[in-house]
Structure 1
Amino acid sequence: MNRKRVAILISGRGSNMSALIEAAKAPDFPAEIVGVLSNRAAAPGLEIAAANGIATASLAQSKFLSREMFEDTMTQLLEGWEVDFVCLAGFMRILGEDFVNRWMGRLINIHPSLLPAYKGLHTHERALADGVAEHGCTVHFVTPGLDEGPAILQARIPVLPGDTPETLATRLLVEEHRIYPEALRLLATGTARL
């Protein structure tokens, strides 16, 4: 089996990154995680990736004169790893149009809402404030518009009486960890296409 080469972009602990790494350990999984890149050198996810024998790198955008230079350097690094696909897993930077277009159809993200509802930040707080009956998460293709790309997979959970943003986030994370590897499988096998 010709496994697709995947890099993951993180900014923090990388719990979705860990779910992808674990899934890729299965011999029949159609992708392998070859690199993890963070925009924060202190991101705990880098240690987890290194402990799993995966190449890691960190690049601080503040060290570059422009976002374009930062993203060009990211692309060079990703090309050096010869990646087929890029997965965003809590990467807390909005990517520029050039970078997104360069990786179009090969760049996916997981977002903690049922897109197109609640694009951007604070999704759990906003869902609770609106009194919705269900909440969820979406794995989607990244396009230049924020959280606007077509969905690959979604998962739904009920909003329970007494839910807080924290309890909602905790329950939703279980679903994120389930559907992100499945979405990557669909992408790597060519079942999901932009």
Structure 2
Amino acid sequence: MVAIGADREADGFEHAEAYGIPTFSVPFTSFSDRDAWGAELLSQVQQWGADLVVLSGFMRLLPPRFVAALSPNLINTHPAYLPEFPGAHGVRDALAAGASQTGASVIVVDNGVDSGPILAQERIPVLAGDTESALHDRIKVVERRLLVQSILDIANGTLDLTEKTPA
């Protein structure tokens, strides 16, 4: 079963609806604290019997209980060649550091910030005159390709979620 969830209304819900994919939203602002929100989010995810949870584009730290319940079958993408430039502003940070290259990564989510085992990653050059938006657009193409390939490899049993890919 496939379902799409978010912590707010999302543009992807319309796309999902067009393909008959169920959606759910668990707004963070509807709960008194992160743990209460995380408990409801976990309940919603578990309702679908998910074998794999993909957090691509999910920009909120999850409570440890949520991570513990789903890891290592909880993955995310990041717009940097981890462990370089973790956090919410990886693209901006790469540009600010004057990096000549950055990248895209797919990781298993742990309780740190972009610190879980790396499943796949690829370098992307920083071009002269790159803006944050232009660089991020190029990274997203690679991120999506790596994510799709990672999901296929997980489904086919050729990618172990417990082993880090050598850098």
Q: How does 1:5-84 map to 2 (within 5 A)?
A: 5=1, 34-41=2-9, 43-84=10-51
Pick one of 151, 160, 165 that aligns with 1:192.
Answer: 160
Larger strand proportion of the pair: 1
The aligned amino acid for 2:7 is N
1:101: which partner in 2? 68
Output one character per residue of 1:66-106: Cα deviation in whole Å (capped at 9) or x when no partner.
22221111111112111111000111210011110111110
Unmatched segments (≥5 aa) in structure 1: 6-33
What is the CA RMSD across the aligned residues, in angstroms? Answer: 1.2
CA contact (8 A) 2:59 2:88 kept: no
The answer to which of 117-126 and 98-107 deviates more is 117-126
TM-score (norm 2): 0.91
Unmatched segments (≥5 aa) in structure 2: 163-167
The aligned amino acid for 1:148 is S
TM-score (norm 1): 0.79
Output one character per residue of 1:158-178: Cα deviation in whole Å (capped at 9) or x when no partner.
111111111101111111121
Please state how far the C-alpha of 1:157 moved relative to its aligned partner.
1.2
Output one character per residue of 1:114-173: Cα deviation in whole Å (capped at 9) or x when no partner.
000111022122111211111111000001111000100001111111111111011111
Q: How does 1:142-161 map to 2 (within 5 A)?
A: 142-161=109-128
1:16: which partner in 2? none
| Alpha-carbon distance in 2 for matches of 1:75, 1:124 | 30
Identity %: 37
Higher relative contact order (CA 8 A, sep 6+): 1
